[in-house]
Amino acid sequence: MSELRHDWQAEEVEALLALPFNDLLFQAHQVHRANFPTNQVQISTLLSIKTGACPEDCGYCSQSAKYDTSLERERLLPLQEVVRSAQVAKDSGATRFCMGAAWRNPSDKNLDKVVEMVQAVKALGMETCVTLGMLTDGQAQRLKQAGLDYYNHNLDTSPEFYGQVITTRTYQDRLDTLESVREAGINVCAGGILGLGETRHDRARLLQQLANLRMHPESVPINELVRIEGTPMAANEKLDALEFVRTIAVARIMMPESYVRLSAGRTEMSDEVQAWCFFAGANSIFYGERLLTTGNPGENHDMALFERLGIVPEPGRAPAFV
């Protein structure tokens, strides 16, 4: 088992990112083998339970009310529709069901409805995760009492670059929500987005922030920017694929016991790039054709790739493969 560190310096992280590619992947793969089954990937499904009209100005997001992305606004989904989607996800092989709502922060009334959803999905025998924006301490406690397993709240990027991505909430706001979730005893899911226009130093600082939390996030989603027409970042240059793989590898080295999840952006990744990511330590994916409002590889494509690579889903219900 690898030592769990919380005292990383930015220079150390940049040195890892700068290693020769083969040396970096060899080191990351060794760490992965020491902490997880080598050819096993955890499968999650993500459902948007409330879409659009978000008051935040995240420069990458189609759900912001500040941008014209032709996204249809939707109210909070009814409970039974959420349960049906969770059952379909379970039958397709997902072991964790994640629910996302486009809020700056949930009202207590809306939280009542989310609590019902969490309880109903838990009753299906699935792990639960929600992402609802900022939380108060009391709201985090309510979600814990409902049986919530994971709360997702990404840091997105480095503290220094953050202001060029979002102005409607601060970096400290995000850290405070993560602390409320941790204090409530809920597992933390926190990662970031690559390709926002950040430098390698920013990527190093993002990983440093995550690894130097008092406890490592149990799940670390690494997203590649999905360039959405109408958002300020629609014309961003695509990130070099090997730089993305490098970031996965360094995340694995720095947070050896965390799930590292390939999240948004997989539709633009070749099978070969994804294979490198799995070798570098990624061991979780979102499964299904949609991630909130953006596309995702279909289930059959993922299962075909798993079969080619000799990868199996983390124990749960065996995925349907047709």
Cite the active site residues: 54, 58, 61, 98, 129, 189, 261
DSSP 266: G
Q: Which residues contact 102 (CB under 8 A, 6 or more apart)?
A: 48, 50, 51, 52, 53, 54, 63
Q: Which amino acid is at 159?
A: P
Give the Cβ contact number of residue 184 at 10 Å. 19
46 neighbors 288 (Cβ within 8 angstroms):
yes
CA atoms within 13 A on the CB side of 52: 10
Please state at what angle helix 271-280 crosses helix 241-254, rounded to 10 degrees: 20
- CA nearest to 292, candidates 99, 150, 120: 99
